[in-house]
Amino acid sequence: MSNVSTLEEIYTDFSMRYFEDKTNGIFSDSVEKLIHEFLATDRITSELSNDDLNDVFSQVSIPEQGVSESEYLQGMTENVIGHTINTGSPYFIGHMTSLLPNFMRPMAKLVATMNQNVVKVETSKSLTFYEKQSLAMLHKAVYNQRDEYYQDVLASHTSPLGLITSGGTLANIAALQCARNQSLSTFADVEEEGFFAVLNKAGFTESVVIGSSLAHYSIEKSLGLLGLGKKSLLSIPVDKHQKIDLVKLRETLVDCANKRIHISALVGVAGSTECGSFDPLAEMADLAEEFGVYFHVDAAWGGPLVFSDEHRSLLDGIDRADSVTIDGHKQLYLPMGIGIVLFKSHETGKLITNEANYIIRAASPDLGRIGVEGSRPANVCYLQAALCLIGKKGYAHLLDKSISTTQQMANEILSSLDFELLNKPQANIFLYRFIPEKYRGLAPYSLEDNQAIDRFNIQLQEQQLSQGMTFVSRTTFKVNSELSVVGLRVVIANPLTTIDHCRAVLEDQRSIAENLE
Ligand SMILES: *Cc1c(COP(=O)(O)O)cnc(C)c1O
């Protein structure tokens, strides 16, 4: 036997190292250092432009032989990490993504180490039951059934009380899939026969889903995917508080009944993405009941307010929804990639059941029996950690605090001369805009003036991001049926954001505006 290894053998050994050495201390230490550096700054981002980054990442060949760990990490440091967005900065108050609780970072290591697949018990064991328990905990927070009910459901192998998904979009898809199937279940199984076949069998020629004009675009996306068609979303206008217009909603429901138009679902939004408004859920639940329609509440943003005594009333009626979407990676402060859908009835999940002999056996507790996703990570660990460590009171405190900071900021804008508040925050999202000096005090503005102010605010927001010190986002806001304007959008979720940070964001904008004017 020869002692001389071929080059090929040396490199094969090299890749085996990543499996044989269970700790990889050098890599761990270096990553730990990068994490510290990442957390050390409040800057939002570097000044590198999208075009610059396109150039940085233009090389397409995969290395023949793996590069060294230090070389790889050096590339990450130089080209990637510093040019991400610091979503945890207290000056980043324009999107729904913010700072994570510190225990999530070590938890992420644990979850990656265990590498469980909760699609089935055989690849996750305890975590399947841990997930069912967490769904029941959230179900109780929203629907507040008796403890015995939860004991029964958890003890039996019926469908779980919901589903952990990869985000709010997938949660909404699951909910609308249930709604579609349930609405036609007396005629045939839609999963089996297909939507249009069953719709025909039921004697309908048209089918809709009803929601407000502020419904999240994932609702439309779901309708495309589920074969109902994006156009089947009937958008009801909102009133001056950006809540669904109940008079028009009733008229629409009556009209659908008269014309024999099939309705899969009525969708309420609890915390609209665009401007943070909450639909009147109790009144919508009344209408859903009266017209026999499935009621889904998209509380991707606002759902965690169930924990707040002070603000829970925004969700009055949510416990009458057939299903509720709550995003984990928004106000539950979980890492990116976690959504939740809760079903009021444990029967609902059965409407989207899949079975396969080799993997998902009927009557097993396998979580993969319901929903569209297959292999899934044990995201339940983050959810349980947060629910247990933060607790109901902890969540209430965090949410109340960000809402109060938001309202303080809105009040400052209201009393300023250079900014104009576009909508009052119902919780912790609102819109405003900068009014350049020559337009101040001249409202209401002509269409041309509004367009000029729009252009100014677009430039302002773009420049603010490219400077990278502070951040708010931007949208086009429908002020009334005639007028839409560009709005700067504030979302305050970071528990470390204080009114002083908000003032600094406004000051940053003032100085950018001064240069622009
Ligand atoms: C964020 C959001 C969604 C979509 O959730 P993703 O997690 O982005 O998929 C749906 N509805 C509302 C109201 C949202 O705010």
For the segment 44-53, what is each residue's pLDDT rounded down to a tens digit? 999 999 999 9
Q: Could you tell me if the CB of 216 is within 6 A of ligand 1?
A: yes
> What is the per-residue pLDDT for 17?
85
CB 269 within 8 A of CB 212: yes
Report helix, strand or coil for 421.
Answer: strand
> What's the predicted TM-score (pTM) here?
0.95
Mean pLDDT score of the chain: 94
Q: Could you give the CA distance from residue 193 to residue 285 in angstroms, rounded to a whole number?
A: 30
Pocket of ligand 1 contains residue 300 by CB under 6 Å: yes
Average pLDDT over residues 226-254: 97
- Closest residue to atom 5 of ligand 1, CA basis: 168
Q: Is 320:266 a contact under the CB 8 Å cutoff?
A: no
Ligand 1 pocket check for 301: Cβ under 6 Å: yes
Q: Ligand 1 centre and the CA of 272: distance in Å? A: 9
In this predicted structure, the answer to whether residue 456 has a pLDDT above a threshold of 80 is: yes
Find out whether 224 and 280 touch, Cβ atoms under 8 Å.
Answer: no
What residues form DSSP beta bridges with 485? 477
What does DSSP assign to residue 312?
G
Nearest residue by C-alpha to atom 15 in ligand 1: 273
Q: Which atom of ligand 1 is nearest to the CA of 167?
A: 7
Q: What is the DSSP string of 24-66?
A: -HHHHHHHHHHHHHHHH------S--HHHHHHHT---PPPSSP
Chain centroid offset of residue 175 CA: 15
pLDDT value, residue 1: 45
**92 and 98 in contact (C-beta within 8 Å)?**
yes
The stretch 419-425 carries a mean pLDDT of 97
Question: How much distance in Å is there from the Cα of 475 to the middle of ligand 1?
Answer: 16
Q: Which of 185, 119, 128, 127 minimizes the C-alpha distance to 345?
A: 185
Average of pLDDT values for 349-370? 78
- Residue 356, helix vs strand vs coil: strand
* Atom 6 in ligand 1: residue holding the nearest Cα: 168
Q: Cα(418) to centroid of ligand 1, in Å?
A: 32
Give residues with Cβ within 8 angstroms of 321, minimum separation 6.
268, 281, 285, 295, 296, 297, 344
168 lines ligand 1 (CB under 6 A): yes
pLDDT computed for residue 356 by the predictor = 63
